[in-house]
Amino acid sequence: MNKHSDNHIVPYRLYIQVLAGLIVMTILSVAITKINLDTLTVFAAILLASIKSALVLTFFMHLKFDNKLLQILVISVFVLVALVLFITFLDYNFR
């Protein structure tokens, strides 16, 4: 019944590495705003946030070690949100 609790013990080291990556990206995203990149600033900030959230999802939230189903579901939910945003902007962008 209960195979879940004893598979994949994630080593501490991996978490610390991921954390280090996350902090570096946070500092990076702050640094980027200091440089004037015009519209690219927004883009860079969102891109870095997306990479960071992907890291949290894959490692901290164990998606990498989970079954395929869950991975597909999580991706679908993000796609859904993106589609809803896209369709909403079909209104605001062309008004």
Closer residue to another protein (CB): 68 or 69: 69
- Return the residue matching tokens 């991975």: 71
Find the DSSP H helices in the chain: 12-34, 39-55, 68-92
Establish if 79 lies at the interface with another protein (CB under 8 A). Answer: no
Establish if 18 lies at the interface with another protein (CB under 8 A). Answer: yes
CA distance 50 to 34: 20
Which one among 37, 40, 56, 75 touches another protein, defined by CB under 8 A? Answer: 56
- Interface positions, 19-48, toward another protein (CB under 8 A): 19, 22-23, 26-27, 29-30, 33, 41-42, 45-46, 48
H or E element in which residue 62 lies: none
Give yes or no for a contact between 45 and 29, defined as CB atoms under 8 angstroms apart.
Answer: yes
Question: Residue 41: CB partners within 8 Å, gap ≥ 6?
Answer: 32, 33
Give me the residues that bind another protein (CB under 8 A), please: 1-2, 4-6, 9-12, 15-16, 18-19, 22-23, 26-27, 29-30, 33, 41-42, 45-46, 48-49, 52-53, 56-57, 59-62, 69-70, 73-74, 77, 80-81, 83-85, 87-95
